Amino acid sequence: MEKTSKGHFFKSITRFEQAALVIALLAICIVFSILSSSFMTVLNITNVLRQVSLMVIAGIGMVLLLLLGEIDISVGSLQAAVGIASVTVLNATGSIILALLAALATGVVSGLLNGIIVTKGGVNSFIATLGTMAIIRGIGMVVTKAVSIPVRVPEFAEIGAGQLFGIPVPVIISAALVIFFYFVLNHTIFGRQIYAIGGNSEAAKLAGLPVQKIKLQVFVLAGVLFALSAFILASRLDAGQPIAGQGFEMQVIAAVILGGVSMSGGNGTLSGALLGMLILGVIQNGLVLLNVSSFYHDIVRGAVIILAVYLDERRKKNAAKQLLRSSNK
Amino acid sequence: MEGEFLLEVKGVHKHFPGVHALNGVNFQLRRGEVHALVGENGAGKSTLIKIISGVHNIDNGEYLIEGKPANIRTPHEAIEKGISVIYQELTLIPHMSIAENIFFSHLPNTRGKVNWKEVYEKTRELMSYVGLDENPRTKVGYLPVAKQQLVEIIKALSANAKIIIMDEPTSALSNNEIENLCRIIKELKSKGIGIIYISHKLDEILELSDRITVLRDGQYIDTVETADVTQDKLVSMMVGRELKDMYPRQACEPGEVVLEVKGLTTEKVYDVSFNVRAGEIVGFSGLMGAGRTELARAIIGADKRISGQVIVNGKAVPADATDKALEMGIGYVPEDRKNHGIFAQCCIRKNMTISALKQFKNTVKINRSNETLSVNKMVEDLHIKTPSIEQLISKLSGGNQQKVILARFLMMNGIKVLIIDEPTRGIDVGAKAEIYNILDQLTHQGLAVVMISSEMPEILSMCDRIYVMKKGRVTAEFKRGEATQEKLLSKAI
Ligand SMILES: Nc1ncnc2c1ncn2[C@@H]1O[C@H](COP(=O)(O)OP(=O)(O)OP(=O)(O)O)[C@@H](O)[C@H]1O
Ligand SMILES: [Mg+2]
């Protein structure tokens, strides 16, 4: 019985969609390895993974928010603010731990700010974070007078560039986080509640779920994840740069949506999002290898965004059709 | 040449994965006939309608219109052939006016310029025909459900429908509104329009229809002349056995006061005080819009309170935290199942356990096998009809969805007060009796039940005490046995 039930059928559609993503990823890899001999090398693949891992850490936060039916586009600005805060603390104290704490604290504060504006103020999260995006970027520019702060603690670079058992540290961190949040989303009460609230927040409220509290918690959690990726980015840049992370929000959001996470909440998986981010990462890497001018990167990125949103719209339409067919009366 | 029947389906089969939804069903509709379709939840009524209206296509069998193959593959083709469906979940566009909603697919125009004068005139004409007294420029979203339904009917008329299908049109209407609808249906009949009418309210069907077709589990049972059947006969055809005790209520000795509401005031509710004891079923009667749903929402803290107190077992229920209310043991089954009850993209299991997840937690993880066990037990106890608990809830028939939402709170260990808003809306007789039985049993275990209902028989026979509400205020309180339909009604209007 189980196998034939419609529930499973629906799941297999999403699975099918992920299969399409896997195929797309493989195809892109094949094309690039034909076009460039340096693509399929251990060095380059490690490199791609290292780059993607930053997007993945922030992307987990974005997935949580999108599943709830919310969004945070201040993530790019936050990359700069966190970098500046942590490098300042690092240079002053020489302690990487304190620098990390400064980074996380910045993430918590920004997450709280966004979360409170959205939950208490009732402001739409796109608009709210559009505002904080400008504010946070502005603060970064003001405190640094738009000048990058170089790192004066050499060990700091190890976080972004270092390896453990031959695997880059950022890759290890992001893999651990993916596994952890996969568990959270699929096997804990918190995960169930996120999906339920994103699917129908009024029903969730009436069913006794603490909707506003969970939204606030997820904004803070996402802020912390964004800060973690920013911390590693600062290490890789070896500086606290006020222009860091420009356009990062669009990358992350596009990749996650490409991976099947719906913008309207309640639908999507972490594994799909991961595939979306890998695809975008590989494309960007391939373009660099092929010496394509960085202006074209923007064009490609823009195209990916439109494609991702188009796919999301199509999914939504199909879902609506399904619902019409199955909805009673 | 015209066939004998406006519409005829013969030996129709429809399969969904794991479900044989229609198993050789026959149905004919004559000109000027009201043909009712009855059956338990999940019997296949809506599925048959969806086949007739082109939403689904048949797997097997024949579908004829006026004696010729229908060839309807999409809803659009059905409309073109003169088939209009009024779904219970209305399909009007809330921010468009009445006139725009009625005519937007076929606006009268001269060379592209819309002739608004004509639109409004025609709308007015049709409105007076169905007895809708509104300005045609009013946005549909501002109208109460009953009036929106009239707009749907006008829309069908303006599209020159020859066949009008109504899927549970009265489940959200008050008695007056139902009477008006009956009047309109009789008029449509006299114009030769064929009407297919689905409802779980058998008295209505007996009054209104000419013939009745009964489905059970996707099977065609019979088509009978309405004049030849009684309600009991119809019920036994539907459920396949005699249904003895519709209302099993055996009042038990009430215990301590569990829920106490003192001077509760919100934007829609004024100074309401009442209490419910363990083991009691307390009913709230009244017309649509009397403020009963708003009262329930204020009790659990979903709506803002202006003043007043809600106390459960001696402790105050916070004004703005539904999760705290749940923790204190208050559950609320909402009236609007589709928008406020279900999580459409989730399966039955996740829908059912969302409020009781703590019970299935070991350390940090949800214990899937315990969860599955409890859900399966509920599915069995409440006779929820589904091939699997992993089925999307939106694929269940309406009545079965309601049972899942009810189970959401019944499965909770600490549940003390259950507020159910229109508990049996859209639910078939058999399932109704089951739900009454369950509520009765639970009160004997000490549950306090608040039952909001517009169905008088249900309130009169199930409740130990009845409050009547009107315009946000309590206007009367009756004990079991004191109340009659007339008394309730006179206090409600
Ligand atoms: N799209 C679908 N996919 C899978 N199963 C479906 C779908 N639509 C309906 N079903 C199943 O088909 C059966 C008949 O459902 P239908 O909605 O026709 O019942 P109904 O007679 O209208 O019931 P109710 O009185 O509760 O409205 C049910 O078991 C239902 O779960
Ligand atoms: Mg139905």
**CA–CA dist A107, A223 (Å, integer):** 4
Contacts of A268 in chain B (CB under 8 A): none
Closest CA to B365 of B354, B357, B373: B357
**B161 is written with which tokens?**
């429908």
Q: Which residues contact A114 (CB under 8 A, 6 or more apart)?
A: A72, A74, A125, A128, A129, A132, A219, A223
* DSSP letter, residue A93: H
Query: How far apart are the CA of A18 and the nearest CA of chain B, in angstroms?
Result: 18
Q: What is the pLDDT of residue B2?
A: 52
CATH level 3 topology of B257-492: Rossmann fold (3.40.50)
C-alpha distances out from residue A225 to A119, A189, A242, B81, B313, Å: 20, 20, 19, 57, 43
Between these two residues, B271 and B240, which has the higher pLDDT value?
Answer: B271
Residue type present at position B279: G
CATH of domain B7-239: 3.40.50.300
pLDDT band with cut points at 50, 70 and 90 for residue B209? very high
Give the ligand with the smallest distance to the CA of B41.
1
Residue type present at position A145: K
Ligand 1 atom having least distance to the Cα of A328: 17
**B234 is written with which tokens?**
């119809």
Q: What is the pLDDT of residue B238?
A: 87
Give the ligand with the smallest distance to the CA of B337.
1
Closest CA to B467 of B296, B352, B267: B296
**How do the domains of chain A map onto residue ranges?**
25-328
Judge whether residue B268 has pLDDT over 80: yes
B390–A7: do the CB atoms touch at under 8 Å?
yes
Q: Is any Cβ of chain A less than 8 angstroms from the Cβ of B340? A: yes
- One CATH from 1.10.1200, 1.20.120, 3.10.110, 1.10.3470 for A25-328: 1.10.3470
Of A5, A208, A267, the CB nearest to B18: A5
Ligand 1 atom having least distance to the Cα of B215: 21
CB B383 less than 6 A from any atom of ligand 1: no
Are B2 and B67 in contact by the 8 Å Cβ rule? The answer is yes
Closest CA to A103 of A232, A218, A1, A8: A232
CB B29 less than 6 A from any atom of ligand 1: no
Residue nearest to atom 28 of ligand 1 (CA): B42
Q: What is the pLDDT of residue A322?
A: 61
Of A192, A266, A329, the CB nearest to B357: A192
Q: Write the DSSP assignment of B339-385 as a string of letters.
A: III--TTSBHHHHHHTTTGGGGEETTEE-HHHHHHHHHHHHHHTT--
Query: How far apart are the CA of B483 and the nearest CA of chain A, in angstroms?
Result: 31
Burial class of residue A195 in the structure, from the number of CB atoms within 10 Å of its CB (0-12 exposed, 13-18 middle, 19+ buried): buried
CA B60 to centroid of ligand 1, rounded, Å:
18
Averaged pLDDT for residues B386-412: 90
How does A248-263 read in b/e, with b if 16+ C-beta sit within 10 Å?
bbbbbbbbbbbbbbbb
Q: Is any Cβ of chain A less than 8 angstroms from the Cβ of B343? A: yes
Contacts of A69 in chain B (CB under 8 A): none
Q: A149-150 and B361-362: which strand pairing?
A: unpaired
Are B176 and B142 in contact by the 8 Å Cβ rule? The answer is no
Supply the mean pLDDT for chain B.
88
β-strand partners of A68: none
Give the alpha-carbon dihedral of B87, B89, B90, B94, to 10 degrees. -170
**B215 is written with which tokens?**
């489905």
Element holding B490 (H helix, E strand): helix B485-492
CA B396 to centroid of ligand 1, rounded, Å:
5
How does B234-257 read in b/e, with b if 16+ C-beta sit within 10 Å?
bbebbbeeeeeebebbebbebeeb
CA B387 to centroid of ligand 1, rounded, Å:
11
CA B106 to centroid of ligand 2, rounded, Å:
29
A329–B167: do the CB atoms touch at under 8 Å?
yes
**How do the domains of chain B map onto residue ranges?**
7-239, 257-492
CA B397 to centroid of ligand 1, rounded, Å:
4
A208–B334: do the CB atoms touch at under 8 Å?
no
Closest CA to A280 of A249, A315, A252, A245: A252
- Chain A residues with a Cβ under 8 Å from any Cβ in chain B: 1-2, 4-10, 183, 187-189, 192-193, 195-196, 199-200, 202-210, 213, 266-267, 319, 322-329
Q: What is the pLDDT of residue B89?
A: 66
Taking residue A20's Cβ as centre, other Cβ atoms within 10 Å add up to 13
**CA–CA dist B69, A303 (Å, integer):** 47
Averaged pLDDT for residues B403-413: 92
CB A326 less than 6 A from any atom of ligand 1: yes
Averaged pLDDT for residues B258-267: 93
Q: What is the pLDDT of residue A298?
A: 80
**B461 is written with which tokens?**
């026979």
Sign for the pseudo-dihedral over CA of A193, A195, A201, A206: negative
ipTM of the complex: 0.86
Whole-prediction pTM value? 0.84
CB A145 less than 6 A from any atom of ligand 1: no
- Which SS3 state, helix, strand or coil, does residue B109 take? strand
**CA–CA dist B405, A157 (Å, integer):** 55
Q: What is the pLDDT of residue A319?
A: 67
Contacts of A119 in chain B (CB under 8 A): none
Q: What is the pLDDT of residue A5?
A: 42
**CA–CA dist B217, A287 (Å, integer):** 60
Per-residue pLDDT of chain A (329 residues; tens, 9 = 90+): 333 344 444 455 555 677 888 888 999 999 999 998 888 898 899 989 999 999 999 999 999 999 999 999 999 999 999 999 999 999 999 999 999 999 999 999 999 999 999 999 999 999 999 999 999 999 999 999 989 999 999 999 999 888 888 899 999 999 999 999 999 999 999 999 999 999 999 999 999 999 999 999 999 999 999 999 999 999 999 999 999 999 899 889 999 998 989 888 899 999 999 999 999 999 989 998 888 888 888 888 788 878 887 887 777 777 666 655 654 43
CB B47 less than 6 A from any atom of ligand 1: yes
Q: How many CB pairs under 8 A join A and B?
A: 136
pLDDT digits (tens, 9 = 90+) for B183-197: 888 888 898 899 999
Q: Which residues contact B145 (CB under 8 A, 6 or more apart)?
A: B90, B172, B173, B288
Closest CA to B131 of B107, B108, B157, B105: B157
Of B321, B331, B398, the CB nearest to A329: B398
